[in-house]
Structure 1
Amino acid sequence: MRETQAVYRSPLAAAGGLAVTGSGRQHARHAVAHRKLPSFAVVLVERGWGFLDTAAGGRQSVGGPALFWLFPNRFHSYGPDENGWEERWALFEGSFIRDLVRMRLIAERHPLVALRHPEEVARLFGQLHADLMDDSHLGRAWRH
């Protein structure tokens, strides 16, 4: 069983743009039920099957590879079937994401997104996680 990996950083939203406040990867075996997050989240299901349930989008089947958005301060539930699934996730906030919502490029009623290039999305999640862990200028910026 793969161990859970997660990195959290202080938000930089006051500076505008986009602040990634957390990133992780895990083999999930249990559902998240009736939870709210204080920030936006994106979840990439790399392999496996399960569900996503949001007030705006309703209950939907999820089959990896798939990506879904979670909105701040909104109840949601999601999780794998009895076999579990492989997931990556990121928490973020800032004016950039609010602009994407305002332009309807990310929609609360349509949180599940079809992926044309799932391998590229997985690579981006991996790079994001590595950058947050790295002891570089970028990695240290996430810590302040």
Structure 2
Amino acid sequence: MDCNVFRVVTETDRALPVYVTGAGGWNHQEPMEREDGFPHFQWIQTVQGAGWFEAGGRTHNVGPGQGMLLYPHEKHRYAPVKEPWTVRWVSFDGAYVKEMLGASRLDASQGLFLTNPELLLSRMHAILLLMDSKDPRAALESSALAYQFILDLYLYASPSEVRSKEQHYEQLAPVFHYIAEHYPEPVSLQDMAGQLGVTPQHTCLLFQQTLGMRPFAYLTLYRLRKAKELLLQEPSLEVRTVAARVGYEDSSYFIKLFKGQEGITPSRFRKIHSPR
């Protein structure tokens, strides 16, 4: 598919957090060298064959199931090493793109491995179809797809052949299920590690890599979530009873945790959210 489409970007588009500027693909990608880089963020994904690219003083190889994320206005070059090098690409921009990618730890041009390459290819194809249509809503709909595309990179892309975010979530699924079933009871780090068959230290590492927090921090947030539900579902329950039902025998400690997270006491939360 040698098809490349570029959008007329309006001022309305530029006001969006994320917007698409182009999309397409080449059946045989030729060597490319850009001294001044590309004007927008660009993702180029290998479908077959292989290539290499250099950006930021580093060289990366990209084969099937891999792609390259290029930051705007950064010198780079790329070329095939196994022909034909078939690629698909999408370019995007927006006031929050850099912040979103940075939060996903994709804060520089780099090569990435994908655990679900077909999903990203289908997302790019959907964007291309929208851009090539005459639908007046295409700009907004492609913006929504671009936002989802960045989330896909967060979930399924990794700088190395280690587990992606999605795979980390899958590995932690037994712990999430255990917490959902046992949160009213005492839950230890050893209990959580036992669900995974790994050490407590490795359990902490997995939580940090996946959620950016320790296991007990997640347990606390889950218990507070259930507490909020109880406060509204059963308005006659005393706060100390709610605390006990979500795993806190010390109601004063529960109130302190709740206020620290929500900024208000459980009683105030109930009053704000309950029908008058």
- TM band (smaller chain): 0.7 to 0.9
Q: Corresponding residue for 1:130?
A: 129
Per-residue CA deviation, residues 22-80 of structure 1 (Å, 9 max, x unaligned), is 11111124211244111111111111111011125x01111112121111110011121
Partner of 1:106, secondary structure, is coil
Q: Corresponding residue for 1:86?
A: 86
Q: Does structure 2 retain, via aligned residues, the 8 Å contact 1:28–1:79?
A: no
For 1:64-75, list aligned pairs within 5 A: 64-75=64-75
Distance verdict in 2 for CA 1:22–1:76, change over 3 Å: same
Q: Corresponding residue for 2:263?
A: none
Distance 1:117 1:140 in 2: 26
1:11 correspondence with 2:9? yes
Distance 2:102 2:128 in 1: 27
Distance 1:38 1:29 in 2: 19
Q: Corresponding residue for 1:41?
A: 42
Partner of 1:114, secondary structure, is strand
For 1:94-113, list aligned pairs within 5 A: 94-108=94-108, 111-113=110-112
Distance verdict in 2 for CA 1:23–1:65, change over 3 Å: same
Q: Does structure 1 retain, via aligned residues, the 8 Å contact 2:15–2:95?
A: no
Instruction: State the one-letter code of the partner of 1:68.
Output: M
Structure 2 unmatched ranges of 5 or more: 142-276
User: Which piece of structure 1 moves more, 22-31 or 70-79?
Assistant: 22-31
Q: Does structure 1 retain, via aligned residues, the 8 Å contact 2:19–2:93?
A: yes
Partner of 1:64, secondary structure, is coil
TM-score by length of 1: 0.84
Instruction: State the one-letter code of the partner of 1:9.
Output: R
Instruction: State the one-letter code of the partner of 2:44.
Output: V
TM-score by length of 2: 0.46
Offset of 1:140 from its aligned partner?
Answer: 6.1
Q: In angstroms, what is the RMSD of aligned CA positions?
A: 2.1
Offset of 1:108 from its aligned partner?
Answer: 1.0
Partner of 2:46, secondary structure, is strand
Give the count of matched residue pairs.
138
Offset of 1:138 from its aligned partner?
Answer: 2.5
Offset of 1:85 from its aligned partner?
Answer: 1.0
- Which is richer in strand? 1
Distance 2:9 2:99 in 1: 18
User: Which piece of structure 1 moves more, 127-136 or 9-18?
Assistant: 9-18
Q: Which has the higher contact order (CA 8 A, sep 6+)?
A: 1
Q: Corresponding residue for 1:30?
A: 30
Per-residue CA deviation, residues 98-144 of structure 1 (Å, 9 max, x unaligned), is 222332432216x11111111111111111100111121333669xx
Structure 1 unmatched ranges of 5 or more: none
Partner of 1:46, secondary structure, is strand
Instruction: State the one-letter code of the partner of 2:14.
Output: A
- Which is richer in helix? 2
